[in-house]
Each structure stands twice: as structure tokens, then as C-alpha cells.
Structure 1
């Protein structure tokens, strides 16, 4: 077909603890869903159980794969999960190497990289290279789909924000306003004709079946990281002064 419709079910993985019991950071490459995170995705899976997915994609990170596996378990189809490194989470630098006086700018305000002239994400991966790798994968995927279909993408907070910004035509702009709570669902509708995207729109954004009215969900992802960083630094300073 020269013209086809894609409905993208874009999911952020469920809750993950990025710090251990002693408030030490866990390598994000290995972080897995918590019990709360598993419950969040199970609730979403109930909402999606009547949707048939022709394709299921995830990143190569465990929490993304786990999320896709839970969602797939509720499907009647035997669609394989395809995992891609291109849509892995953006790589941060080492939090302990960020000075206290720079923490608010580089951690809490990290998603306002354009406004604050931050070339790197938390002294790690380049924003421009990250956005390019994510959108290159996405655009290649949608332009080679070749027929009407529903596609599930199990991804990450910042990756989803980049996809949503793309729909709005804000490819390299700040992503602070595109909130993505744990275990949320977004629905993107695209129409492709002759290898061109002729229409794109958002039908649903940041839907969380486990908390429909976002009760007590005030923090963004980087707010949580910043607060943990400050608490950790305060504990270390207390130790040094005792």
C-alpha cells in the first residue's frame, strides 16, 4: 500500500528504584521494575488486552523489556518482542561528580537543556546525538511499516518525550513540559503516504490507569533524582562534620 495508518501505543516502563537502600545510585543499565512497577504495568495491560499488536518494540534495558513482556502476556497474539539499543535511555554521567552548586541546573533542570544551554545530559550523553539516534530509529520504523497496524513501544521517560515532541514539530526543543509518569500510555496516530508522514496527532498522553487523576504525582523524573541527590549529599556532609 502507498498509504497506511499507524497507531503507536507508546508506554513508559513501570516504577524503578534507581537507588539502593543506602541511597547509592544503581547503574541504570541494570535497574529492574519494582513490585509497584509490575503492578502499574499489569493494570495497564488490562486496559490493552483487547488491542492486537502487529509489532512490539522495546529498548535493550531490562525495565523496558520487562514492561513489554508483561503487556505481551495479556495478548492473544504471538508477536515477538524486538529490542533495540537505539531507543535505550539517555546516558547520564556520574551524579557524585556533579558539584552541589551545579546540581539544580544540571539535574533538576536537565530537561530544559535548550533554555539553559546544556549540551550534555547530567554530564553524560550529548542531547543532540541522543535525539538524533532516537528519531532516526523511529522515522525508519514508521516509514518501513508498509500497512495499517497497531505498534507497541515499551520505552523510557525521555525517549517518549522526544517522540511526543516530534509529533508537535519540536524535534530539538526542551522536553520538560511533556510529562511521562511511570507506567503511562500515550497513543500517537500517524498516516504515511508515499514514504512521507502526511498527518500526525496525539490521541492520548500520559494516561496512568493506576492513578487516573494524578493524585500526589507532583514530581517529574528529574525532581526525584535531584531530591535523592540532595538527601545523599546532606547525609555525606553530616558524616564529614561529625
Structure 2
């Protein structure tokens, strides 16, 4: 198991919660790529490798690895495990209920609502009726993510688990942990590509400890940007839409 050698019985289990590495959501012509199909780009692969090397450097081992099944999480997990030296001993499990929040059709969003549609989930305490790009609501996301986390906690065959998921899904898990197992959603929890969060969880429903949030091995202090992923995507989409 992955407990500290000084512990006779670890009081809590550990979850390493990652976001997938960077992807390119618009092709060379500016056309949006289907979120269900988009793969890691070169930068995203480098980020995943850096995360794997960080785990190896710190001697971290996992009992289980869980991905959402979307290609960007599967590819990130594979690179992390390869460069952590764990690829031969672990096979990622696919939990589709942990896929990213689902957007609607961008073309159906009126121009005056575009900015709110892209950035409305990035700030403050979110309402459950708020929707992502006119698609899935926060309530619908929580209805599938929180039971999955409860299911994982109920399973006793692991001490240390790696979850490679998505930005908004990670924010839901972090909000749940920060509120002691509550149902809430904080939109301000930024998740950089291939970032690592460290959570400890005990037996009691409210026993959550949040130890690390949004650690990026390549950019620990995030000095390279002050934008969110959705702000960058909005700029790309507006350029594509203006050229049509």
C-alpha cells in the first residue's frame, strides 16, 4: 500500500486529483473540434510528462487510477504513469460519470450572450441552475460527479488513487472537499492543464483535508498567465466567428 512507512494504519486515504493536459479546441481553420474527440497537443503531452516525473521524484505510488474516458484524460494518465514508472503495474479505470460538464451548440448562443456563456462558471459561488455554454447545468453535473466520489470513498481496496479529470469536474470535487462533503460549486477554483491537487479523506463524510490545489510542475507560481482556459478559448472563438 501507499501509506507512510511510519504509520501503522494511515488515518486517511489520499486522492491525487489532476486535470488533463492542454488541448487545442480549434483546428487550423478556426473551426471548433468536438470536445469528445480532442487529443492532447504537444504542450499538453509535455505537461503530463512533467507531472509523471514529479510523482516519480517524490516517490508517489498509486493503488488505482481513474479517468473520465475522454481521450485527453486517457492520454494524460498514460503519460503520467509511463514517466512515473508505474505503467506496467496499473491500468486506468474509465468512469464516464466523471466526464467534463457538457456544453450546447456554440452556434445557437446569441452574440450578446457569448461572454457570459464562456466565463459564467469562472467566478464565485455558482447557482445550480447555471448552465455551461447553454448545455449542462451545475445541478446536473453535481448529480453525477458527487455520487461517483461517494462510490470511490465506499470502496476499500485503495489507499492512494490518481484521478485524471477535467477543470469544472475538479472544481466540483474540490468544492465538495472544502465544504466538508457538502453540495456546492466554487467557480474561482482555477485548474491549470495537468495540474495536481492533493486531497486526504477519512472515514467520516465530512473528513476531508485539502493539502495542495492547482500545483503545476512546470509553472509552480503560475507566472506565465493570468487568464482562465475559458477566457483564452473565448478569444479564439470570437476570432473564428468574426471571420465567418
TM-score w.r.t. length of structure 1: 0.88
Q: CA deviation at 1:221?
A: 1.9
Are residues 174 and 199 of structure 1, via their aligned partners in 2, closer, same or farther at CA, if it must alter by over 3 Å? Answer: closer
- Which of 224, 233, 239 is the aligned partner of 2:241? 233
- After superposition, where does 1:1-242 map in structure 2 within 5 Å? 5-49=12-56, 50-73=59-82, 74-76=84-86, 78-112=89-123, 118-145=129-156, 149-169=159-179, 171-192=182-203, 196-236=204-244
Q: Using the alignment, how far apart are the partners of 2:193 and 2:220 within structure 1?
A: 13
Q: Using the alignment, how far apart are the partners of 1:173 and 1:111 within structure 2?
A: 14
Q: CA deviation at 1:36?
A: 0.7
Contact between 2:123 and 2:188, CA under 8 Å: does it hold in 1? no
Are residues 219 and 82 of structure 1, via their aligned partners in 2, closer, same or farther at CA, if it must alter by over 3 Å? Answer: same
How many residues in Structure 1 have an aligned counterpart in Structure 2? 231
Contact between 1:13 and 1:183, CA under 8 Å: does it hold in 2? yes
SS of the equivalent of 1:110 reads: coil
SS of the equivalent of 2:142 reads: helix
Are residues 16 and 5 of structure 1, via their aligned partners in 2, closer, same or farther at CA, if it must alter by over 3 Å? Answer: same
2:4 maps to what in 1?
Answer: none
Q: Comparing both structures, which one devotes a greater share of its residues to strand? A: 1
Contact between 2:127 and 2:138, CA under 8 Å: does it hold in 1? no
TM-score w.r.t. length of structure 2: 0.87
Moved over 4 A (4+): 112-118
1:145-171 superposed Cα distances (whole Å, 9 cap, x missing partner): 256x11000111111100000011185
1:92-135 superposed Cα distances (whole Å, 9 cap, x missing partner): 01112111101111112234596578532211112211111011
Unpaired segments ≥5 residues, structure 2: 1-8
Q: CA deviation at 1:226?
A: 1.6
